[in-house]
Amino acid sequence: MKTLLSFVLLGCAVEASDSVDAKGGANDIATIFDSAPNIDSEGAIEPCDAVPILTWANFGEGFVLDNCQACHAHGAADRHGAPAEVAFDTLDDVLTWQDRIVARAGSELGGMPPAGGVSETDRKLLLAWIACSLR
């Protein structure tokens, strides 16, 4: 069964032994799991129980720091025109803006970050994290 990203997921059960201890962003996690989650052309993701556990600590925080906070942090020296209310300083901030994050950074056409977007692996991991861990 595939889960569409547009639906709110009630839970993604994975054995505790499948959790990820590595911190350092998407590239470390992708290396640990050999590849990013499978997302088909309609935006459906593998069942969450087939995707490694991605958390704020082992993925989200590093992803946001590396790809978003140069502009989307309240303390950013130069927000480069990012709206003041769109900040990703905390997990709660990301939860508030998760739909916009999916649309802008989770899409090949979303244009975020503006310096070229994220890699395909990082994009897939971002979508899996939001679909399976945040919703």
pLDDT in tens, 104-127: 998 888 889 998 888 888 988 898
Q: What is the mean pLDDT of the chain?
A: 74
Cα dihedral 101, 95, 88, 45, rounded to 10, equals -40
Which of 30-39, 40-49, 60-69, 95-104 is least confident? Answer: 30-39
Q: Does the pLDDT of residue 134 top 70, yes or no?
A: yes
Instruction: Note the pLDDT of residue 11.
Output: 32
3-state secondary structure 30-66: HHHCCCCCCECCCCEECCHHHCCCCCHHHHHHHHHHH
More confident residue, 135 or 95: 95
